[in-house]
Structure 1
């Protein structure tokens, strides 16, 4: 009698595990892919280089499913509201999605309030490089945020489709980074 119950529990556990979102392949300490992408800031497009941004300090790279969706607009607005706090810590922020650059140009003004850039990754090469592809809807990036230390390695990451905690967690992770000139 115990075997059928254990078999059902094992089957349910496997099924439940398959339904869970995948964890980020890039773990703390892993080097990140350096990317160059077309981005928009305040409605104007330009070439964004992660390597150039890291030369100036830590970078928050956050992936989001779709510009102008309710949750993505909430998250972008929250990052925009906190951008001065990131800047005070020497950090910059870039959002990345599979949206086209025209959509992101408008989003950069409306939801990002012209406070930080958003990059277009229609080919999903950056999204895949950061293991941020949504498994259940492969046309979209997952809601996944990384803090990248100036050395190009992952200092922290957080994955959750709920946009509410990403900014708070990214700020706390940037605050926890060693400051230049401070003892390690």
Structure 2
């Protein structure tokens, strides 16, 4: 019996380590690092600027581990399906991963349905700046989403490796922004 209890505790500790791989260092109200990065939209590459996007309204910045993985494709598809709702609220969406721009160019068409851009952060400077580096697999970004208000501060964040609730939570957070922030 003691061995069984010890085994259960070890399994629970292992599961907790897998599901809680990092903590969001940027809390609500914290300023975010402004970044520029190579990005792709509809298979075409361009230079994305968070500062320029924030000048137009709130931005959802979501980090994901790897383009073309099952869960990342599910999440990208869900953001693509909801993009009109974000746009109606004056918000834009940008996905960020450590994938190279060539991979993300294809992903922007296939999974993002050419509806929103995805940015390449091969050096992981943006990922680290938002504390989105997966601690157990440091070559990957964690699944972490932020709503950034036009003033450049975190309005909301959500972290979970399961992609199912990210879009819903980000949409609700954008809806909850003061009207001057949500529709600038």
State the TM-score, normalizing by the size of structure 1. Answer: 0.89
Match of 2:29 in 1: 29
More deviation, 173-182/155-164 = 173-182
Could you give the per-residue CA deviations for residues 22-49 of structure 1, whole angstroms, max 9, x where no partner exists? 2200000000000000000000000000
Where structure 2 has 5 or more consecutive residues not aligned to the other structure, the ranges are 1-5
Instruction: Map 1:85-104 to 2 at 5 A.
Output: 85-104=85-104
Aligned residue for 1:155, secondary structure, equals: strand
Instruction: Map 1:6-155 to 2 at 5 A.
Output: 20-155=20-155
Q: Tell me if 1:174 matches 2:155.
A: no
Moved over 6 A (4+): none
Aligned residue for 1:87, secondary structure, equals: helix
Q: Distance in 1 between matches of 2:136 and 2:88?
A: 37
1:180 to partner: Cα distance: 1.5
Q: Is contact 2:38–2:120 with CA below 8 Å preserved after alignment?
A: yes
Match of 2:3 in 1: none
Where structure 1 has 5 or more consecutive residues not aligned to the other structure, the ranges are 1-7
Aligned residue for 1:52, secondary structure, equals: helix
Aligned residue for 1:180, secondary structure, equals: helix
1:178 to partner: Cα distance: 0.3
Task: Name the larger-Rg structure.
Answer: 1
Could you give the per-residue CA deviations for residues 89-143 of structure 1, whole angstroms, max 9, x where no partner exists? 0000000000000000000000000000000000000000000000110000000
Q: Distance in 2 between matches of 1:181 and 1:152?
A: 11
Match of 2:160 in 1: 160
State the TM-score, normalizing by the size of structure 2. Answer: 0.89
Aligned residue for 2:45, secondary structure, equals: strand
Q: Distance in 1 between matches of 2:23 and 2:176?
A: 22
1:18 to partner: Cα distance: 5.1
Aligned residue for 2:179, secondary structure, equals: coil
